[in-house]
Amino acid sequence: MRVKRALALLSAAALSVTMMTACGKDDNASSGNSVENADKKYNIGIVQMMEHSSLNTIRDSIKSRLDELGFKDGENCKIDCQQANGESTTITQILDQFKADEADIIVAITTPCAQLAAPYSTDIPVVFSAVTDPVAAGIVDSLDKPGGNITGTSDALEISKILDFALTSTPDLKTLGYLYNTGEDNSVSCLEKVKAYCKEKNIKLEIASVTNTSEIQEAITTLADKCDAVFSPNDNTVASAMGTVAQVMNKAKKPMYVGADSMVQDGGFATIGIQYNDLGIETANMVSSILKGEKKAGDIPVKVFNEDLSTFINKSTADAIGYKIPDELANAEKTVLFD
């Protein structure tokens, strides 16, 4: 009897330990903040076109969100952030180094980086961010089914909403300037939409193109002389020279409408769109899902941020060009004012 009782007690104890272990596993799995393979040190490569506020916001929010999701830089992962100073050859060199370093995933911020990173997806999962039109850029097969080993987030501009706001804020708008870099596919595709809008609204369109930041001063000065307002999409070259652009436009007392919230923060007058840290957060969510083995990159639909938009206005720029922000706009829930 004693032997049987002892065996029964041992069996109960073993069952209790097994149940406790199982419960512990369930708790960790449901938390969503643990990295499954604790022994592996993940190698994450992030490449961006250049340094400027929009791209830095995305990069920093990616890193912050990854940290929240359990990917601790310097502990269980290495996050290697690189920027290419606007040079395509440098992007390729960075990507080659990521491959040589056996990166587990590549994050490509902006259309040029994503286009150059796409071929590497045969060996390494690629997640892109801030790509305006990934289908037209030849990066994915479709938004719902990217295919291959690549996916990401899109900052597709609501051109008509931005220009509708421009017409409301600048009611005497007869001639609109468009400033962009001919080497950026996203800016080229946006130009076609601007042309269609101006034709519909009977607005004259003046176009000034650049190939690098050294040409910005002359181009924006010409547009400021000819136009009632100027628009530039989320163009990396223009964004990196917003200080120069804002100075010229403010001196001319004309509004500069832009494609990104950070371009407003850096001196542009206004835009309607998303907050760029949201792009970084969703990009990081995709990276986490892929690294944890929950989904394959090509099976994750591209996330397009074209809803729940905000109005961004730079108050200092508004003062400089003599624009009084209406109280109902300034106090609206979806209005963000930068000093």
Give the tens place of pLDDT for each residue, 54-81. Answer: 899 999 999 999 999 999 999 999 999 9
**Which residue has better confidence, 272 or 21?**
272
Higher pLDDT, 330 or 35: 330
The pLDDT, as a whole number, for residue 2 is 37
| pLDDT tens column, 287-300 | 999 999 999 999 99
> Average of pLDDT values for 11-39?
44
> What's the confidence (pLDDT) of residue 40?
82
Instruction: State residue 35's pLDDT score.
Output: 66
Residue closest to 54 by CA, chosen among 107, 92, 109, 91: 109
Q: Which fold has domain 42-155+276-304?
A: Rossmann fold (3.40.50)
| pLDDT computed for residue 4 by the predictor | 36
The residue-averaged pLDDT of 113-118 equals: 97
- Checking if the pLDDT of 316 tops 90, the result is yes
Contacts of 84 (CB under 8 A, 6+ apart): 47, 48, 49, 50, 90, 91, 94, 113
Residue 161 has pLDDT above 90, yes or no: yes
* Amino acid present at 288: S
Buried-state track 131-161, b at ≥16 Cβ within 10 A, e below 16: bbbbeebebbeebeebebbbbbbbbbbbbee
Instruction: List strand residue ranges (DSSP E) for the chain, in order.
Output: 42-48, 77-83, 105-109, 126-129, 150-154, 175-181, 204-210, 229-232, 256-258, 270-273, 303-304, 310-314, 335-338
| Token pair 């076109």: residue | 49
Q: What's the mean pLDDT in 181-185?
A: 91
Nearest to 100 by CA among 57, 146, 45, 154: 45
* pLDDT of 31 strictly over 50: no
CATH of domain 159-273+309-338: 3.40.50.2300
Query: Which percentage of the chain shows pLDDT scores above 70?
Result: 88
pLDDT-based confidence at 15, cuts 50/70/90? Answer: very low
Q: Averaged over 225-245, what is the pLDDT? A: 95
Q: What is the dihedral of CA 168, 169, 170, 175, to 10 degrees?
A: -70
Measuring CA to CA, which residue among 301, 317, 312 is closest to residue 335? 312
User: If you average pLDDT over residues 118-138, what whole number do you get?
Assistant: 95
Q: Which residues are CB-contacts of 136 (< 8 A; sequence separation ≥ 6)?
A: 185, 189
Q: What's residue 37's pLDDT?
A: 60
Residues of the chain above pLDDT 90, percent: 79
CA distance 107 to 129: 7
Q: Looking at residue 47, what is its pLDDT? A: 98
Q: Could you state, in order of their start, the residue ranges of all structural domains in the chain? A: 42-155+276-304, 159-273+309-338
Mean per-residue pLDDT of the chain: 89
Q: What is the predicted pLDDT for the residue at 23?
A: 41
In this structure, the number of other CB atoms found within 10 A of the CB of residue 56 comes to 18
- Confidence (pLDDT) at 38: 57
Q: How confident is the model at residue 196 (pLDDT cuts 50, 70, 90)?
A: very high
Contact 276, 264 (CB under 8 A): no
With beta carbons less than 8 A apart as the criterion, state whether 70 and 63 touch.
Answer: no
Please say whether the beta carbons of 210 and 179 come within 8 A. yes
Residues in the chain: 339
Q: Report pTM.
A: 0.78
**Domain 42-155+276-304 and domain 159-273+309-338 have a common topology:** yes
- Rounded Cα distance between 190 and 21, Å, is 56
